[in-house]
A and B are shown apart, each in its own frame.
Chain A
Amino acid sequence: MGEVGPMREEGKISAYQAMVYQVSIVLATAILFVPAITAKHAKQDAWISVIIACFFGSLQVYTAVSLARRFPDASVVQYAPLILGKVPGKVVGFVYLFYFFYVGYFVLQEFSALMCSSYMPRTPPIVFMLVLSLLAVYAAYGGLEVICRMSSIVLTVVLATMVLVVLLIIKDIKIWRFLPALENGLGPILLGAIPPGGWFGETAVLLMLYPFIDNKEKVVKTSFLAILILFIAMEMVVIGAVGLVGPTEAACFLFPTFNMARLIKLEALPILERQDALFMMIWVAGMLIKLTTFFFAGVLGLAQWLNVKDYRPLILPSMAIMMALAVQAWENIAELFAFSGEVFPLTIIFVNFIITIFLLITAGIRHISTRKA
């Protein structure tokens, strides 16, 4: 076992920059898919599902923070062997870093799915994947500080545009589409809460970022703030999509948020109609930061797992593998959607919650910590 400590200088980020990272890593795909996936089970109560998911997400991020605090100078990939012993620890570490690549190639596929379905059907999907991943590679070379600063700018624009889109449809949102509440009891609502709950759990990326954070005492606060921002964003699109076309239709569309942007109708100001392009902008920018954050966390984890001093030589090979995985993974959009609704949330909950809490409990029982008293 080598000594545990931060790798070659990756820069320092503030707790708020970590928060931006946490929000970026969840936002883009969640806002696009959350209405359809939750409304499928929870129908008009999808908004309640998001509240429940938010609590579940808070629990997950709190677990992650508790674990990270025990090892202030290392990432989870580095200290998992300390907790579990060398071989099991390395296995768990690999599960963590593979999770980042796994979501990464899932994101690539989702990105090309929407771009090909709605904007550019003739363009081969590989082009979208390539363009996005090259940008992510470029950002990864820049390092953590660069990614955080880029995300702050992009995120501000994305959130502001989302608010604008929702403001434009707010007059067409009808309260009666949310009635009757709790028509089929709690079961479907809980079922609908699982996928967004998984997404909220992605904020556990903090386990990788923690050693680089400057003002560690603020992390609990900023993590919950990240959850809150995500909660507001998800509620906006869920209430928007369900309140605009009703739960049955919202569940039926593959990209309800995209449809929501298309349904903007202002007879007084037609210039503000047809905001597909605006939505496309949010979507591409959001997906870029999402991919970058996942990819960077994955490459960083891989370097730590291999005990390599610098992660940069691993960037291009990792991206090549990710692209290959993305291309072969799903044959058609039906598979992709079935996967993202049923399999995907459970796998990410397994990594972000089950493994994390298992590590936390084991570390607690064995009194393992590198924190200076």
Chain B
Amino acid sequence: MKRRMLIILVLLICLNAGCWDLREVEDLGYVMAMAIDSGPQGKIRLIAQVPNPRVLGGGQRGGITPGASIAAKPYRNYEGTGSTIFDALREISRESSRRLFFAQNRTLIFSEAMAEKGVGGVLDFLKRSVEIRHGLTMVFVARGDPAKILDIPNPHATVPALRIDDIVRWRGQTSRFAPVPLSRFLETLSLEGQEPYAGVIEAAFNPAAQVREGEKAALEPPLTLRLTGAALFRNDRMVGFLDETETRGLLWVLNEVKGGQIVFPCPGQEGKKATIEILRANAKIEPEITEDGIIMTVKIREEGNLVEVEGPLDTSKPEVIKELDRLHAAAIGNEVMAAVYKAQELGSDAFGFGEAFRRKFPREWKKIKRDWPEIFPGIEVRVQVVAHIRRMGMTGKPPFLAP
């Protein structure tokens, strides 16, 4: 009797798995990237990129050439328009054979127009939705039509969303673009003394696509995907862009520089350059109140490896390294100041100077927080960089300097 009960119970487990919310993997369309654009008449235009597992798994090189048939494409970009984002989403579902599923989405792109109009309304949906993962979704602003950007072919990572994801993964190679997780974007939006920023994504001319003489046509796609710079926001509205140098200036202050190259003039010979690869960096903002107003001191410590010297420098001498330390510290300082000037011009405190001030002087902050947007462009920012070259590769001297 007991055994029979047990068997029945075990069988019941098989029958009752999943309840009402059962969803089979085969029925889901995994959205890998979504782009949000503002459409005509205040509507929202949404693009959702869903990979096509049949083509991806079949090992075909789909989508290399722009003219390839749609069946060979390893992804499909669904596009829909609606009054709200959820409305647009459900419009798309009328085209899709699978239920669109957003938990795997890692890329969120706002068009420039959308970002300028304000993303607050859209963010509410993303915050409410249980499928969107705030920690894994990276926020970008697109320069140009996001639909075009999400349709740029590439032979390696054939789905553009995966390609973006991989490029983000290797962001420490340059630290010249600023992807930000949605969770951080939302947090900075909620802070009084810090404004959000986002990465910038664009479709750039592909230099490898040039038609050379004697060749019929290029097999390379004419455009390539490019992650570049940062977009600064004031509240939920984008106010402008930082270029790549300025972006790294911002990232230094935010402690987000994970690596990258610093090129600076090499002493000893005019026009020659030296290059450092950044190993690690650490920054701290120290606010002060003086009679002349608020002064922010950004203290940066950086360590790097020397990877290239063009000039005739005997790098085996410690005093030469000291000189290079000083020079590349100055280069870092210049990047930070360029970012600060640009951000002050745009009126967006993406650095969190206001937050640093609040943390150190909570009482004074209460008095000035309302006026912070007006105060921020006028504050004095100082940068102190301590930079160290730790190692220099496998050679002690440039080749032409050998005795």
Contact = CB atoms under 8 A, between A and B. Distances in A.
B380 interface: no
A316 interface: no
B362 interface: yes
B21 A245 contact: no
A262 B134 contact: yes
Sort chain B's interface into a size bin.
Answer: 10 to 19
Contact of A180 (B183, B186, B362): B362
B20 interface: yes
A119 B21 CA distance: 8
Nearest to A262: B133
Contacts of B187: 245-246, 248-249
A121 interface: yes
Interface in B109-143: 130, 133-136
B190 interface: yes
Nearest to A169: B135
7 contacts: A123-B19, A123-B21, A248-B187, A259-B134, A262-B134, A265-B136, A265-B181
- Identify the 3 closest CB pairs spanning chains A and B, nearest first: A120-B21, A263-B135, A179-B359
Given A118-B130, A263-B183, A264-B135, A249 B190 contact: yes
Nearest to B255: A174
Interface in B149-196: 169, 181, 183, 186-187, 190-191
Interface string A139-177: 000000000000000000000000000000000000010
Sort chain A's interface into a size bin.
Answer: 20 to 34
A121 B359 contact: no
Interface string B248-277: 000000000000000000000000000000
B190 A180 contact: no
A274 B105 CA distance: 13
B89 to A, nearest CB: 15
Interface in B172-224: 181, 183, 186-187, 190-191
B359 A176 contact: yes
Given A122-B20, A248-B190, A180 B136 contact: no
B100 to A, nearest CB: 15
A264 B133 CA distance: 10
Instruction: Specify the main secondary structure of chain A where it touches its partner.
Output: loop
A155 B169 CA distance: 38
Interface in B354-385: 358-360, 362
A123 B186 contact: no
B359 A248 contact: no
B134 A263 contact: yes
Contacts of B130: 117-119, 121
Nearest to B135: A263
A223 B163 CA distance: 56
Given A180-B358, A180-B359, A265-B136, A252 B21 contact: no
B359 A120 contact: no
Interface in B11-62: 19-21
A273 interface: yes
Contacts of A259: 134
Nearest to A251: B190
Contacts of A122: 20-21
B169 A267 contact: yes
A266 B20 CA distance: 32
Nearest to B184: A245
A124 interface: yes
Contacts of A342: none
B360 A120 contact: no
Interface in B309-331: none
Among B21, B135, B358, find the residue whose CB has the most chain A CB atoms closer than 10 A.
B135
A1 interface: no
Contacts of A127: 19-20
A252 B190 contact: yes
A44 to B, nearest CB: 9
Contacts of B20: 120, 122-124, 127
A141 B20 CA distance: 30
B125 to A, nearest CB: 15
A127 B169 CA distance: 42
Interface string A238-265: 0000001110110010000001001111
